[in-house]
Structure 1
């Protein structure tokens, strides 16, 4: 073979491209076992509250001071303010102009983001 270094380089570049092409948020959700995401009638107490408890309350729960910026999401009434003004969806969806939440962490799985957004779009019911 006259050009083994050239062929090796092409092979390595091809492998890197295939590897990077497989790294997407969608792939991560599939690997975690996400199969369906029903957002037709989102319940605050059954769907939204557990997402907040698992991902937000460490910084934004009652009495929490760890980098919360003074934002307390521990009650429906307090959360509704941020849902109504667009900050909740803007932050959890990492939209431009918002601080991505959870802060310094990857975006929540798409089903959780979609669940929160659907709850807001369905009128932020306390159900």
Structure 2
């Protein structure tokens, strides 16, 4: 489809995370990790949502063998998952070691400190408030 302008059928990806402690999650994702607050809404009965954004997003689909491989590379063993499905959020950052330090100081539980991967990135794994596992990664260049 070269030269043809087509409106993409999907224009946004939202990953909705339920958390019992919205303030702690905001402190980590917005204040420590630096995601920009796009909008927030309050609803009946104390309902509240805050939408954070990053400049770009991708949807990474991986089979169980790849998930196990990533766990082995990042954590050195199968990672304990406290959630029913294998869902992990990965954020590309310019400095993974600095981001790892901020996340740890900001209340995220360290699952694994930064490690260089076979695909030439520096990855660190954390458990965020609410039990979601997150990875911060820095691309190191060509293999």
* TM-score, structure 1 normalization: 0.24
* TM-score, structure 2 normalization: 0.23
Higher helix share: 1
Q: Whose RCO is larger (CA < 8 A, sep 6+)?
A: 1
Larger radius of gyration: 1
